[in-house]
Amino acid sequence: RVDPLEDYDLSKPLKSNGLRQGLTAYGDPHFSLFLRKAFIKAAGYGEDALSRPVIGIINTGSGFNPCHANVPQLLEAVKRGVQLNGGLPIEFPTISLHESFASPTSMYLRNLLSIDTEEMIKAQPLDACIMIGGCDKTVPAQIMGGISANKPILPLVTGPMMPGSYRGIRIGACTDCRNNWAAYRAGVIDIEDIAALNDELAPTSGTCGVMGTASTMACITAALGLMPLRGASAPAVSAARLRVAEETGKNAVAAVSNALHPQTILTKESFLNAITVLQAIGGSTNGVVHLMAMVNRHPNVAGSITLDTFDEIGRKTPLLVDLKPSGDNYMSDFHNAGGMTALLQTLRPLLFLSAQTITGQSLGEVLDAAVAHDFPYSQEIIRPLSNPLYPCSSIVVLRGNLSPGGAVIKASASKDRRLLNHVGPAVVFSDTADLARRIDDSELPVTADSVLVLKGIGPIGHPGMPEAGLIPIPRKLGAAGVQDMLRLSDGRMSGTAGGTIVLHISPESIVSGSVFGVVRDGDLIKCDVENRVLHLDVSDDEIARRIAESIKDSSTKGAAKPKRGYRGLYERSVNQAEHGVDFDFLTASGPA
Ligand code: FES
Ligand code: MG
């Protein structure tokens, strides 16, 4: 029963409905509510609607974002789910980031999206928030912001695109974009083929259809307990995706009455489960950065999980999911094999089953409810623990004098496993422009044993830590049949890429005192994945001499002029890869 007069009765305290909380303050809380209701009624809502739990729904649709092109249909299904369960859905926008259309990088803007998300969730009179997103940086940005805002949050990913086909062979964004481009560079396929392939690589709306960053983050979100398990893999264009959306609407209304705040339901164990899944799916190395950023937003978890936690979990977690780039298949195959439900059933002995989920059930209870099914439906796509695709440590953390803050390699995506234990002379590129200028120079002194080193693509260096870590094989070596080389950088790599590639070297080259910053042509570099070592074979004295020289050089050039706007804020505040490339003032250990 709605009594509209009750809201304005000055003798009674305000009720706890979101629209009624003392948000926009005009000094007098009753008057503030009176004004908010007057304005929201301009959208056509009646008293009954406004007395319901208000479920905000973030719409990240944009003409520049084909990964989110199904958002209109998802919104309709979400709203149905909210309304059927007695809530009032109210949609609002935040900025939208697509990987390919966010310059200089989408990573540069991830923290901006996370601030947008956090502040709009906090600012508006909503009781819970469904966050629709999907492309690589959107989901982590939304969860980071949502953890900080700490109202009930329900991520809903847009879902993976379907694979395409060219000349009878299945292809998909974007592992096959890279494979085919490399084949074209090496002269294996011609210009007509590469042009025709371009039409088929991304054949539907949705996120990249392999185990790239978007799929990785979708699986991680489900493993954290924030999203229905089927929500990780149901294709963007499927009816299943719409039903997940409807269910999310229902869960949101229940999350309000059960007060399921992210800082309460997410515990250290939830994140350990997510890291186990990251390792078992052969997930993107970007998942490491994003998970560290989420962890460091959470006041009760920050500090208890570090880069080394990923390595420790990796040692006991086999790679089970046979998807590109580590394996051969696509997200639609993973979905058809039982998706996250089947994977988590398989991983049961490695999981913390008491971790909570957004439905109020524990992860164990969610899995028990699904136990009647004979998962997985395909042991080729989701392998049993006894027959993994890769025995353990899909993602490995390397340390040594070259990366005191850590470095990451996706060992399972190596194309030439001999390179996982390799010593070779460095061929150094000072930045991406230098790389573009010289990599295909026929005079470049490089052999298949060389170690390609790309500096200047760290969080601050580029800025935005571009996905340029997949240094191309020099054309003359590619033409001679070389398919993989040991490559090192302080940047990132797309989750859809493969090769023996060391990433996220910290501290990045541009930081004063960085050892990586003083690597020179011809220096011997040792990478020993088995022993977790990344070593520059140069004496400590010589390293110290080079660092002193570079500090002197930069001080004679004088300090760079501070930059204006977001760029200035970014450069002043961004932390290094092992902390999540977040802004220091947004972390749980930052300012109160
Ligand atoms: Fe959006 Fe790959 S470009 S998920
Ligand atoms: Mg990507």
Summarised one tens digit per residue, pLDDT across range 282-315 is 999 999 999 999 999 999 999 999 999 999 999 9
| The ligand 1 atom nearest the CA atom of 173 | 2
Judged against a pLDDT cut of 90, whether residue 274 lies above it is answered with yes
Q: pLDDT digit string (tens) for 491-521? A: 999 988 889 999 999 999 999 999 999 999 9
Judged against a pLDDT cut of 80, whether residue 18 lies above it is answered with no
pLDDT at 516: 98
pLDDT at 498: 85
Looking at 106-115, 181-190, 306-315, 414-423, which range is the least confident one?
181-190
Q: What confidence category does residue 449 fall into, taking pLDDT thresholds of 50, 70 and 90?
A: very high
pLDDT at 552: 93
Mutate to test the pocket of ligand 1, among 98, 284, 324 (most ligand atoms within 8 A of CB): 98
Q: What confidence category does residue 319 fall into, taking pLDDT thresholds of 50, 70 and 90?
A: very high
What is the bridge-based pairing of β-strands 501-506 and 169-171?
Answer: unpaired
Q: Is the peptide bond before 140 cis (omega within 30 degrees of 0)?
A: no
Is the Cα dihedral 294, 236, 68, 166 positive or negative? positive
Q: Is the peptide bond before 507 cis (omega within 30 degrees of 0)?
A: yes
Mutate to test the pocket of ligand 1, among 62, 65, 67 (most ligand atoms within 8 A of CB): 67
- Say yes or no: CB of residue 208 within 6 Å of ligand 1: yes
Judged against a pLDDT cut of 90, whether residue 526 lies above it is answered with yes
Residue nearest to atom 3 of ligand 1 (CA): 99
Angle between helices 268-280 and 307-316 (to 10 degrees): 60
Where do the DSSP E strands lie in 64-190? Answer: 88-93, 128-133, 153-157, 164-166, 169-171
Do the Cβ atoms of 584 and 576 come closer than 8 Å? Answer: no
Q: What confidence category does residue 22 fall into, taking pLDDT thresholds of 50, 70 and 90?
A: low
Q: How many angstroms separate the alpha carbon of residue 223 from the centre of ligand 1?
A: 20
Angle between helices 268-280 and 339-347 (to 10 degrees): 100
- Say yes or no: CB of residue 157 within 6 Å of ligand 1: no
Q: How far apart are CA 204 and CA 82, in angstroms?
A: 27
Question: Cα–Cα–Cα angle for 109, 113, 115, nearest 5°?
Answer: 115
Q: How many angstroms separate the alpha carbon of residue 494 from the centre of ligand 1?
A: 10
The ligand minimizing its distance to the Cα of 496 is 2
Range 104-127 average pLDDT? 96
Q: How far apart are CA 144 and CA 221, in angstroms?
A: 12
Range 304-331 average pLDDT? 96
Q: How many angstroms separate the alpha carbon of residue 213 from the centre of ligand 2?
A: 5
pLDDT at 6: 82
Q: How far apart are CA 458 and CA 492, in angstroms?
A: 8
Q: How many angstroms separate the alpha carbon of residue 421 from the centre of ligand 2?
A: 27
Phi-psi region at 493: left, alpha or beta (left = phi > 0; alpha = psi -120 to 50): beta
Q: Buried (b) or exposed (e) across 567-589, using 16+ Cβ within 10 A?
A: eebbeeebbbbbbbbbbeebbbe
- Say yes or no: CB of residue 214 within 6 Å of ligand 1: yes
Q: pLDDT digit string (tens) for 548-584? A: 999 999 888 887 888 999 999 999 999 999 999 999 9
Q: How many angstroms separate the alpha carbon of residue 138 from the centre of ligand 2?
A: 11
| The ligand 1 atom nearest the CA atom of 214 | 4
Do the Cβ atoms of 399 and 527 come closer than 8 Å? Answer: no
Mutate to test the pocket of ligand 1, among 162, 208, 215, 233 (most ligand atoms within 8 A of CB): 208
Q: pLDDT digit string (tens) for 78-110? A: 999 999 999 999 999 999 999 999 999 999 999
Q: Buried (b) or exposed (e) across 83-118, using 16+ Cβ within 10 A?
A: bebebbbbbeebebbbbeebeebbbbbbbbbbbbbb
| The ligand 1 atom nearest the CA atom of 213 | 4
Q: How far apart are CA 50 and CA 34, in angstroms?
A: 12
The ligand minimizing its distance to the Cα of 208 is 1
Quote the percentage of the chain above a pLDDT of 70: 98
- Say yes or no: CB of residue 99 within 6 Å of ligand 1: yes
Range 216-233 average pLDDT? 98
Q: How many angstroms separate the alpha carbon of residue 101 from the centre of ligand 2?
A: 12
Q: What confidence category does residue 68 fall into, taking pLDDT thresholds of 50, 70 and 90?
A: very high
- Say yes or no: CB of residue 136 within 6 Å of ligand 1: yes
Mutate to test the pocket of ligand 1, among 71, 97, 136 (most ligand atoms within 8 A of CB): 136
Q: How far apart are CA 293 and CA 395, in angstroms?
A: 17
Looking at 47-51, 147-151, 161-165, 395-399, which range is the least confident one?
47-51
Kindly state the DSSP code that residue 362 receives in the 8-state scheme. B
What ipTM is given for this predicted complex? 0.95
Beta bridge partners of 536: 525
The identity of residue 12, as a single letter, is K
Q: Mean pLDDT, the chain, as a whole number?
A: 94
Q: How many angstroms separate the alpha carbon of residue 158 from the centre of ligand 2?
A: 15
Q: What confidence category does residue 24 fall into, taking pLDDT thresholds of 50, 70 and 90?
A: low
Q: How many angstroms separate the alpha carbon of residue 543 from the centre of ligand 1?
A: 40
- Say yes or no: CB of residue 67 within 6 Å of ligand 1: yes
Residues, Cβ < 5 Å to ion ligand 2: 136, 212-213, 494
Looking at 4-18, 123-137, 157-171, 522-536, which range is the least confident one?
4-18
| The ligand 1 atom nearest the CA atom of 207 | 4
Judged against a pLDDT cut of 60, whether residue 145 lies above it is answered with yes
